[in-house]
């Protein structure tokens, strides 16, 4: 091996792979036709932009040496066979959808890195004792339909049937959206994987927070994913003429919502540990300048690494909002739409990942809890999970300013290869003991 060669160098004649190409491909997917909007990235599930993205990423998977398919939920799956064709698979995944006005790396970077790992294995003609499958989930963000991680839930076997009443903001049902892309609602749950066919799930993702950057770490190992509640809150007042309705007689739904949001912020600020609460969407009706708002709906997202802290905050908020509604003579409902428990990552896998980080970086792995939700927290119902975080500039995410460096992503790529090859050795030893 010359001074310029590394264990990750491409063999002569092989296409170059690694972190730089992963970043470049994410950038390519950040514009039309892979976005529904000109000048900004928005890629909702089952949209034209999603379809074009699947087509493009599928070609990259095949170029890397994988066979590809879309499952019954519309997820893109690429498979690189193991030493024997019927071997169970290590799943490497993240999501291809995005929020509106998104950054380019939240989700797709994990998929691109999975492809790069397979390209490395293929270029070096390496077959592992298990297959490697790279999954691009169709819906993690919940930016089209009101429940996030819809398609990873299907893969994890958590949906016995797809919700047949679910509609997007335009009134298009999940059934119709699936039908437009050639899928059947009745088949949605058939995306579920058999536990015996999956040995583990690995996800690489930008941190979406400032810890790694502040401590000068390129990557980190995730130990757990925070518990999450998502509520839809509806306030019903009485719409009236803005010029003739006296202030003291108003049942202003928006004013009640404003007071409720201030109360939510105050409760979260006083909460223990890593508690956060966010109102992310607000819908006002009738929504015209000269009418007192009669109806308001808004979302509430509550998260903490400790479920008891999250649960206590939710109950405190519920009590505070009920008092505001009574005082202002409006009706209030608080509907739970999503309940995701705290998800610990598998300790043995996390330790192996930490060892790989130390081997590549020369530093002890920074271990941290993810405040953001990820497909990994759902996939834990199917198989042991672990996650690798990648430093992002200023911790910015869900924003066009989201940024990573090719150098950091190259380190992530090398950590992934090192981890997977080490895991293959451990897995083989375990299989020999079983035999």
Span 175-206, pLDDT tens digits: 999 999 999 999 999 999 999 999 999 999 99
Beta-sheet pairing, 67-70 with 76-80 = antiparallel
Nearest 5°: the CA angle 428, 411, 355 is 45
Q: What is the pLDDT of residue 5?
A: 55
> Is it the case that residue 2 has pLDDT exceeding 50?
no
More confident residue, 35 or 160: 35
Averaged pLDDT of the chain? 94
Give residue-wise pLDDT tens across range 377-399.
999 999 999 999 999 999 999 99
CB proximity list for 151: less than 8 A, separation 6 or greater? 45, 73, 74, 75, 137, 138, 139, 140, 191
Q: Is it true that the peptide bond before 33 is cis, omega within 30 degrees of 0?
A: yes
Domains of the chain: 19-226+342-434 (3.40.630.10), 227-340 (3.30.70.360)
- How far is it, in rounded angstroms, from Cα 372 to Cα 153? 17
How far is residue 361 from each of residues 37, 322, 350, 354, 376, measured CA to CA in Å?
39, 52, 16, 10, 24
Question: With 50 as the cut, is the pLDDT of residue 4 above it?
Answer: no
Mean of pLDDT values over 58-74: 98
The phi and psi torsions of 185 (rounded to 5 degrees) equal -60, -40
Instruction: Give residue 146's pLDDT band: very low, low, confident or very high (50, 70, 90).
Output: confident
pLDDT at residue 15 above 80? no
Between 9-13, 251-255, 347-351, 390-394, the lowest mean confidence (pLDDT) is in 9-13
pLDDT above 80 for 355? yes
- Asked whether the predicted pLDDT for residue 434 surpasses 80, the reply is no
Closest by CA to 119, choosing from 21, 52, 193, is 21
pLDDT band at 3 (very low <50, low <70, confident <90, very high): very low
Token readout for 422 is 């080490």
Q: Answer yes or no: is pLDDT of 422 > 70.
A: yes
pLDDT at residue 12, rounded to an integer: 67
Distance CA 137, CA 371 (A): 20
Rounded to 10 deg, the angle between the 406-434 and 108-123 helix axes is: 60
Q: Which residue has the higher pLDDT, 169 or 346?
A: 346
How far, CA to CA in Å, does 295 sit from each of 81, 256, 292, 329?
55, 10, 9, 13
End-to-end CA distance of the chain: 37
Distance CA 268, CA 238 (A): 29
Pairing of strands 219-225, 366-370: parallel
Q: What is the mean pLDDT of residues 102-118?
A: 98
Structure tokens at 18: 């690694």
Mark the binding-site residues for allantoate, compressed into ranges.
Answer: 230, 290, 303
Q: Which residues participate in the annotated binding site?
A: 95, 106, 141, 205, 230, 290, 303, 398
Per-residue tokens: 147: 């429940």
Residues belonging to the binding site for Zn(2+) are 95, 106, 141, 205, 398
pLDDT for 432 beyond 50: no
Spatial separation of the C-alpha atoms in residues 127 and 401, rounded to whole Å: 39
How many CB atoms sit inside 10 A of residue 348's CB? Answer: 13
pLDDT grade for 431, boundaries at 50, 70 and 90: low
Give the tens place of pLDDT for each residue, 397-414.
Answer: 999 999 999 999 999 999
Q: Which two tokens stand for residue 408?
A: 């950091």
């Amino acid at each position: 091996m010359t001074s310029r060669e590394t264990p990750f160098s491409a063999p002569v004649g092989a296409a170059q792979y690694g972190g730089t190409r992963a970043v470049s491909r994410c950038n390519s997917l950040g514009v039309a036709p892979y976005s529904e909007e000109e000048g900004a990235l928005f890629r909702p599930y089952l949209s034209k932009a999603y379809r074009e993205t699947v087509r493009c990423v599928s070609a990259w998977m095949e170029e890397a040496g994988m066979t590809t398919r879309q499952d019954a939920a519309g997820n893109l799956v690429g498979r690189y066979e193991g030493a024997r064709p019927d071997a169970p698979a290590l799943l490497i995944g993240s999501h291809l959808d995005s929020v509106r006005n998104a950054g380019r790396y939240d989700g797709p970077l994990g998929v691109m890195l999975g492809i790069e790992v397979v390209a490395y294995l293929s270029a070096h003609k390496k077959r592992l004792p298990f297959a490697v499958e790279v999954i691009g989930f169709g819906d993690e963000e919940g930016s089209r339909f009101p429940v996030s991680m819809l398609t990873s839930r299907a893969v994890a076997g958590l949906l016995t049937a797809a919700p047949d009443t679910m509609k997007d903001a335009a009134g298009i049902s999940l059934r119709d959206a699936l039908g437009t892309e050639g899928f059947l609602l009745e088949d949605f749950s058939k995306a579920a994987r058999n536990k015996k066919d999956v040995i583990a799930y690995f996800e690489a993702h930008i941190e979406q927070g400032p810890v790694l950057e502040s401590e000068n770490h390129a990557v980190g190992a995730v130990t757990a994913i925070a518990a999450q509640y998502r509520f839809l809150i509806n306030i019903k007042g009485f719409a009236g003429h803005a010029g003739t309705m006296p202030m003291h007689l108003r049942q202003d739904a928006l004013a009640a919502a404003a007071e409720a949001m201030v109360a939510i912020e105050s409760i979260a600020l006083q909460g223990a540990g890593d508690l956060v609460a966010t109102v992310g969407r607000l819908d006002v009706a009738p929504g015209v300048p000269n009418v007192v708002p009669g109806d308001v709906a808004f979302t509430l997202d509550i998260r903490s690494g400790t479920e008891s802290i999250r649960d206590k905050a939710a109950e405190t908020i519920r009590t505070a909002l009920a008092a505001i509604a009574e005082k202002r003579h409006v009706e209030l409902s608080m509907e739970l739409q999503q309940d995701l428990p705290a998800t610990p990552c598998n300790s043995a896998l996390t330790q192996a990942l930490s060892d790989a980080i130390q081997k590549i970086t020369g530093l002890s792995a920074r271990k941290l809890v993810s405040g953001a939700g990820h497909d990994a927290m759902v996939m834990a119902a199917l198989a042991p999970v672990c996650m690798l975080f990648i430093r992002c500039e200023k911790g910015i995410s869900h924003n066009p300013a989201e940024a990573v460096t090719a150098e950091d992503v190259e380190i992530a790529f090398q950590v992934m290869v090192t981890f997977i090859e080490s895991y293959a050795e451990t897995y083989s030893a375990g299989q020999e003991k079983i035999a």
